[in-house]
């Protein structure tokens, strides 16, 4: 067996990559120095893999921003608004596509399958495909001459690339295959001429649900590539799920197939067992989790390898991660602040490569020769498994009694609506905001001072109170109907709660790329999640004490907390979601007890957890909805539960959104130019709803007329008695002046609408 990797984090050990990009954008780094800096990181990444004994090292996975953007630019797919292409596009065009320029808006960005990585969506219409360079060849040569590494170039497969693109126009998808296939051939031929033996070609789309017609397209692509470039061997790489149509996929005319044996729920292994594996192909065995941060059960992995050798001869197996390591942080070696048990159970990219190397050797030579290393790995995993943090009796008892836990409000929405009208006496078309107000430099610097210990808790609390007071007064002055406290004490909607709940830890350097230079450091859910003490009560109660208008309590929902964290892998995500949900219920109840009886539980990331396979979507949505309801169901009839969502494609989630049974939902709508509104023509929704009346992602202040138009459009399909007026999303990224001006216009538009409806 051989050891291999599929992709390495780009961001550098200490986010040097991010810093270089941002310095270059800010004009603080000359282009030449910038290239040199990125080259150093790129070579450093290759060396790290080499030093860890990885035999098959990918090249071309490195990027200046995003690998899908790289592919689009390599094929000359540059929308006309970025100028006419002459020769090789330079960095300014590349970054204009990613980030926008003075003259052209950026290309759209969207989630890479079910991960938190975002890629730039290629735009095909009006493009004139032409090969502008061969970045695979360049990086292959570089690795060889600089480090003596015979790398394996990585290229995103044509079918996946096209499925992620938009604007097929008259050619249609099939036409675009014809159009781009010759360019793929050319790229591969140049590699062939250089003496490259293998190319990794990523087709993760094969792991989503695939129709027979689609598979025919895929077959056509690979028949052409193997016929036209006979000297190159292709490893067709899939990940994130089991492959649909296993037998068809493994019979595609390529030389190797990479399968994910971690995120497949055992189906890939079962398929290999049941149907065998073609004798003339290599199997890329994705055994080490490329998305989680935990050490693997190496003994179990050796057993899987053993099972695979029943179907595939050992010399045709590559031991590899389940997907590119882009989704995990670089190295756990520096996490000295975590307690030992937790630290020793972690495996980031480097540690995962160590595991791959070890597994490969153990499989080749026999596990006895590596008994000590295997035992050590096992010991650290078990230590965490048996730690008190995973034995919180109360949590286990609550989960065991889940069937007795209420997950429905006592009264139906009709009854609640009347009771709530009575209690709150809100005007027609009530106005509110989504939660956060501007996080000014002042707010951020105060938090830094407090974190560094320069400010004591008292001083910091007083500062936060001052902010709250300022904004309560502003909301009163603006004439809003339902207030919020403004979230000044929170950096981030998950971290804030994670720091206050038991079961969470925070790494020092556990960064992963989210999009472009933007990295996130997800909290780690390592133990049982439990409520410790009220988290939001003090600020909310203080805000409420300053006004007679209702102040909404503001919480992040269980599914969003789950989806934006690294989650322990000894329990199902469903069970962890219920643990979080019950902890949040305690907070909801604490708020209610303190007199806060409008409570918003945000679930912007509900959609992010959707499985790739159609048949699994309902199952996920069922438990996600249940988790939300576990958090929100024990309140009084008069208590009004709100929720909020962004990027919500309504049509395929309407049943779940209804099932949340929130009294009021606000959804981002204006960012996508109100597309969502149309869904309500076909689908009935009868609870309180606010479709965002202006986009908050731009500093532009919307006019009263514009907002009025959005309200009119919404009220064509929704009843004015159920409609709320609010911006698309939280306002924390906006400046004070623009926020006040926008909200002023929003209230003015509402007053006009109240006369009309």
Shortest distance in whole angstroms from residue 668 CB to ligand GLN: 7
Q: Which is nearer to Zn ion, 321 or 604 (CB)?
A: 604
Cα–chain center distance at 623: 19
| 646 among annotated binding-site residues | yes
Q: Which is nearer to ligand GLN, 407 or 467 (CB)?
A: 467
Q: Which is nearer to ligand GLN, 244 or 602 (CB)?
A: 602
Contact, 308 vs 285, CB < 8 A?
yes
Q: Which of residues 596-615 bind Zn ion (CB under 5 A)?
A: 604
Q: Which one is catalytic: 339, 396, 673, 697? A: 697
The burial class, CB within 10 Å (0-12 / 13-18 / 19+), for 505 is: buried
Shortest distance in whole angstroms from residue 388 CB to Zn ion: 37
| 458 among annotated binding-site residues | no
| 301 among annotated binding-site residues | no
Own/partner contacts of 110-116, CB < 8 Å, gap of 24 or more, are 111/608, 112/68, 113/204, 113/208, 113/240, 113/612, 114/240, 114/608, 114/609, 114/610, 114/611, 114/612, 115/240, 115/291, 115/327, 116/327, 116/512, 116/514, 116/520, 116/522, 116/563, 116/564, 116/608
Q: If binding is defined by CB under 5 A, does position 688 make contact with Zn ion?
A: no
Q: If binding is defined by CB under 5 A, does position 729 make contact with Zn ion?
A: yes
Q: If binding is defined by CB under 5 A, does position 524 make contact with Zn ion?
A: no
Which part of the chain contacts Zn ion (CB under 5 A), choosing from 268-276, 323-331, 609-617, 645-653? Answer: 645-653
Shortest distance in whole angstroms from residue 724 CB to ligand GLN: 15
Cα separation, 322 vs 5, in Å, equals 9
Cα separation, 5 vs 284, in Å, equals 10
Binding site for ligand GLN (CB under 6 A): 434-436, 487, 493, 554, 602, 604, 644, 646, 729-730, 732
| 644 among annotated binding-site residues | yes
Which part of the chain contacts Zn ion (CB under 5 A), choosing from 151-159, 228-236, 541-549, 725-733? Answer: 725-733
Shortest distance in whole angstroms from residue 729 CB to ligand GLN: 5
Among ligand GLN, Zn ion, none, what does residue 436 contact (CB within 5–8 Å per kind)? ligand GLN
Residue 697: active-site member: yes
| 15 among annotated binding-site residues | yes
Among 162, 395, 599, 646, binds Zn ion (CB under 5 A): 646
| 16 among annotated binding-site residues | yes
| 323 among annotated binding-site residues | no
Q: Which is nearer to ligand GLN, 262 or 729 (CB)?
A: 729
Cα separation, 725 vs 669, in Å, equals 12
Among ligand GLN, Zn ion, none, what does residue 439 contact (CB within 5–8 Å per kind)? none
The per-residue b/e assignment along 627-664, b for 16 or more CB within 10 angstroms, e otherwise, is bbbbbbbbbebbbbbbbbbbbbebeebbebbbbbbbbb
Per-residue contact track with Zn ion, 445 to 474, x per CB under 5 A?
Answer: ------------------------------
CA dihedral (119, 121, 127, 128) in degrees, to 10, reads 30
Cα separation, 623 vs 363, in Å, equals 39
Contact, 600 vs 559, CB < 8 A?
no
Contact, 665 vs 643, CB < 8 A?
yes
Shortest distance in whole angstroms from residue 615 CB to ligand GLN: 29
Shortest distance in whole angstroms from residue 473 CB to ligand GLN: 19
The per-residue b/e assignment along 75-96, b for 16 or more CB within 10 angstroms, e otherwise, is bbbbbeebeebeeebeeebbbb
Which tokens hold the place of 323?
A: 């997907």
Rg (CA), the chain: 27
Q: Which is nearer to Zn ion, 418 or 697 (CB)?
A: 697
Contact, 352 vs 6, CB < 8 A?
no
Q: Which is nearer to ligand GLN, 435 or 503 (CB)?
A: 435
Residues that bind Zn ion (CB under 5 A): 604, 646, 729
State the binding site for L-homocysteine: 434-436, 487, 602
Catalytically active residues are 697
């Amino acid at each position: 067996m051989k050891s291999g990797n599929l992709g390495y984090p780009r961001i550098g050990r200490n986010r040097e990559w991010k810093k270089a990009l941002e310095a270059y954008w800010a004009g603080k780094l000359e282009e030449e120095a910038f290239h040199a800096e990125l080259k150093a990181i790129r070579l450093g990444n290759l060396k790290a893999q080499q030093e860890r004994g990885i035999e098959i090292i990918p090249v071309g996975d490195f990027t200046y921003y995003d690998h899908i953007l790289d592919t689009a630019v390599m094929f000359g797919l540059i929308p006309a608004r970025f100028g006419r292409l002459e020769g090789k596009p330079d960095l300014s065009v590349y970054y204009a596509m990613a980030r926008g320029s003075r003259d052209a808006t950026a290309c759209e960005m969207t989630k890479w399958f079910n991960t938190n990585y975002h890629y730039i969506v290629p735009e095909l219409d009006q493009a004139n495909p032409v090969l502008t360079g061969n970045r695979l060849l360049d990086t292959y040569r570089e690795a060889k001459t600089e480090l003596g590494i015979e790398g394996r170039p990585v290229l995103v497969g044509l079918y996946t690339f096209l499925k992620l693109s938009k604007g097929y126009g008259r050619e249609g998808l099939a036409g675009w295959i014809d159009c781009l296939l010759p360019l793929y051939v050319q790229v591969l031929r140049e590699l062939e001429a250089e003496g490259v033996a293998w190319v990794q070609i990523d087709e993760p789309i094969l792991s989503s649900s695939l129709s027979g017609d689609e598979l025919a397209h895929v077959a056509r692509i690979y028949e052409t590539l193997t016929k036209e470039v006979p000297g190159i061997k292709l490893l067709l790489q899939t990940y994130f799920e089991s492959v649909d149509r296993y037998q068809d996929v493994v019979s595609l005319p390529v030389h190797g197939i990479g399968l994910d044996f971690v995120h497949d729920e055992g189906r890939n292994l079962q398929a290999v067992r049941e149907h065998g594996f073609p004798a003339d192909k290599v199997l890329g065995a994705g055994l080490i989790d490329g998305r989680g941060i935990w050490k693997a059960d190496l003994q179990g992995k050796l057993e899987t390898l053993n099972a695979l050798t029943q179907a595939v001869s050992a010399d045709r197996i590559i031991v590899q991660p389940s997907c590119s390591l882009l989704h995990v942080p670089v190295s756990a070696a520096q996490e000295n602040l975590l307690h030992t048990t937790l630290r020793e159970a972690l495996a980031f990219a480097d540690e995962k490569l160590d595991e791959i190397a070890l597994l490969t050797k153990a499989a080749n030579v026999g596990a006895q020769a590596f008994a000590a290393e295997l035992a050590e790995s096992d010991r650290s995993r078990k230590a965490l498994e048996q730690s008190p943090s995973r034995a919180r009796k109360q949590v286990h008892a609550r989960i065991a009694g889940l069937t007795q836990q209420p997950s429905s409000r006592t009264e139906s929405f009709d009854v609640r609506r009347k009771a709530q009208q009575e209690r709150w006496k809100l005007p027609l078309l009530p106005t509110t905001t989504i939660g956060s107000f501007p996080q000014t430099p002042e707010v951020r610097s105060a938090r830094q001072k407090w974190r560094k210990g320069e400010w004591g808790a008292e001083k910091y609390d007083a500062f936060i109170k001052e902010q709250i007071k300022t904004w309560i007064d502003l909301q009163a002055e603006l004439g809003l109907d339902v207030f919020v406290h403004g979230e000044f004490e929170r950096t981030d909607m998950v971290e804030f709660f994670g720091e206050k709940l038991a079961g969470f830890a925070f790494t020092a350097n556990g960064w992963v790329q989210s999009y472009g230079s933007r990295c996130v450091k997800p909290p780690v859910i390592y133990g049982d999640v439990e409520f410790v003490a009220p988290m939001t009560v003090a600020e909310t109660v203080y805000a409420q004490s300053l006004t007679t208008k209702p102040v909404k309590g503001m919480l992040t929902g269980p599914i969003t907390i789950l989806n934006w964290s690294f989650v322990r892998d000894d329990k199902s995500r469903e069970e962890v979601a219920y643990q979080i949900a019950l902890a949040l219920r305690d907070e909801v109840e604490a708020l209610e007890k303190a007199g806060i009886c409008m409570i918003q539980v945000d679930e912007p990331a509900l959609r992010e957890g959707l499985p790739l396979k159609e048949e699994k979507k309902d199952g996920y949505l069922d438990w996600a909805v249940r988790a939300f309801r576990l958090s929100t169901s024990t309140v009084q009839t008069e208590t009004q539960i709100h929720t909020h969502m962004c990027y919500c494609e309504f049509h395929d989630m309407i049943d779940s959104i209804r099932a949340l049974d929130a009294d009021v939902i606000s959804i981002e709508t204006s960012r996508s130019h109100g597309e969502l509104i149309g869904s309500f023509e076909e689908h009935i929704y009868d609870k309180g709803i606010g479709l965002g009346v202006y986009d908050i992602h731009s500093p532009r202040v919307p006019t009263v007329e514009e907002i009025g138009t959005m309200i009119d459009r919404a009220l064509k399909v929704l009843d004015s008695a159920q409609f709320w007026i609010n911006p698309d999303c939280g306002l924390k990224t906006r400046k004070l002046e623009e926020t006040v001006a926008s909200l002023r216009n929003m209230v003015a538009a509402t007053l006009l609408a109240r006369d009309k409806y």
